[in-house]
Chains A and B, each alone.
Chain A
């Protein structure tokens, strides 16, 4: 349509005979960080997976203006990178080998890794501070270290659109801050980041919020907009309040006792 990185008109998305999403119309702009938020069961992960083309969806999805299914698999893989929830397996591989898997879309069939591949892996692991233990097997890493390796794997693809589903699992605050940093740098370089986050305070750092509830998109708008904040409060049954601290927006749980002194 109009230069959107991803735009979609979904009639319905079903999972095992249960309709999880219905009547969704979205346009996600390039060079932006969009966070998809909403209560549990709103369908956030399902929406992201549908947008990535990983589950069948009834409707149309356009990636960079071209329908998703018209893309050749490898082309699409170079353009759209995915980081899923709870990725298990690959325990026997070293961290370096796992990150190198992210270069698959760029490698000719059975070709050895090129210099560009090695450089991309190095960059990705440097960004996530996992380069130092690249020779350790995944099974010997802690939850947080593992997550950083998997993130590096997604970064190594160097795709123009990066989709991440709950990427902050197991990450402690310093590494969460690192992650925000990485995303901001990617966006500054012109890449598009779309993430599903249940950590609202992190999500409020994004450029755009997509607020979902019960399988539909309630609101799409800038994260700093009041309308967006109102939508957030609405989907969470007004059990939270949005407040500002040092220029950052925060979502705080709201109980009768906590109608405190913050403006």
Chain B
């Protein structure tokens, strides 16, 4: 199936608007189209449901962009936003900040200012920096990937140790790991919008280089691409996007992995448009999942990460099934 990118973009934007309308109608009372004009309902809509829906879309867009960048940079269709130690770093940041609360007045003050979101973001960036350090630069992608695996494993082990020593943070950690869109506020929306614009601009700037990279390092270099510079810039955009999304909405599985595949399945295009389309499809995915998470068992909530795993996993299975059938045909 090969649609024009403009068509796909329009479809995604329309879907986003439709889901947004749905998002403000689904809440603790389930699906409820009649918006009564009481003060409470008004406040719930504007202060809770709207920022939460927008926030879910933005977090999904950040993850979709990050996944597309990772897949282009490493030329691996299984790359996702949680490479290069970013997820393990975020987890450790959150665990550390929770474990240290209450240990000393100084720590408390600092941690209040930083907040859980700040800790998660710092952890993500820290994890990526550690990976870059371990890989001694961005020269070799294989070394980067391996270093990312090592950093991921080590930091995850430290996090597990922390959870053992302070068992009451375990439940919070678990909900962080499964995604937490429940408290997205207008300030989250602003932060994520800024981050999305920045990382999108940077990634778009390097999109031609990503295209050249898809032909191999040697050819890209022969086409005048400054490989090391491009890699550093793209990893920075990647860390910014992943860090912001994880800090605001926890670690949501599959969105970053599936969004670019969704786009590539319906239209083949160069990276410039692919990055933009992946963001939009990531946004649609996560907003849809968040609506399901709120609506299925209202007023209880399912962790949104479980919904994205089910949707994302099923979609990938379906893709694989179609690919094998096409090959057999």
Residues of A whose CB lies within 8 Å of any CB of B are: 49, 52-54, 73-74, 76-78, 80-84, 87-90, 92-94, 97-98, 101-102, 104-105, 107, 109-110, 137, 150, 153, 157
Contacts and interface: CB of A to CB of B under 8 A. Distances in A.
Interface string B52-72: 000000000000000000000
Contact of A109 (B2, B205, B223, B264): B205
Nearest to B268: A92
A104 B268 contact: no
B301 interface: no
A110 B225 contact: no
B268 A94 contact: yes
Given A94-B268, A97-B270, A110-B205, A104 B75 contact: no
Contacts of B105: none
B215 A89 contact: yes
Contact of B216 (A84, A93, A97): A84
A135 B72 CA distance: 21
Contacts of A105: 223-224
A89 B222 contact: no
B225 A137 contact: no
Contact of A81 (B212, B222, B225, B226): B222
Contacts, number: 74
7 contacts: A73-B226, A84-B219, A88-B216, A89-B75, A90-B215, A104-B223, A153-B215
A102 B214 CA distance: 12
B204 to A, nearest CB: 7
Contacts of A53: 221
Contact of A93 (B205, B208, B268): B268
B272 to A, nearest CB: 8
Contacts of B272: 110
Nearest to A102: B223
A97 B214 CA distance: 12
B216 A89 contact: yes
Interface residues of B, number: 23
Interface in B218-234: 218-219, 221-226
Given A73-B225, A104-B212, A87 B219 contact: yes
B215 A82 contact: no
A77 to B, nearest CB: 3
Contacts of A110: 204-205, 208, 272
Contact of B223 (A93, A97, A101): A101
Given A82-B219, A94-B268, A104-B225, 14 more contacts: A49-B218, A54-B218, A54-B222, A77-B222, A77-B223, A84-B219, A89-B215, A92-B268, A93-B269, A97-B268, A101-B211, A107-B208, A109-B208, A110-B208
A101 B212 contact: yes
A232 B182 CA distance: 75
Contacts of A150: 215
Interface in B82-140: none
Contact of A80 (B2, B75, B205, B222): B222
Nearest to B263: A92
A-B complex: 5 closest residue pairs judged by Cβ atoms: A77-B224, A82-B222, A90-B214, A74-B224, A73-B224
B218 A82 contact: yes
A139 to B, nearest CB: 9
| Residue among A93, A107, A153 with max Cβ neighbours from chain B (10 Å) | A93
Contacts of A80: 222
B215 A98 contact: yes
A153 B216 CA distance: 13
A104 B224 contact: yes
A167 B224 CA distance: 21
A105 B75 CA distance: 22
A87 B208 CA distance: 18
A110 B272 CA distance: 9
A165 B224 CA distance: 18
A83 B270 CA distance: 20
Interface in B223-248: 223-226
B71 to A, nearest CB: 11
Contacts of A97: 211, 268-270
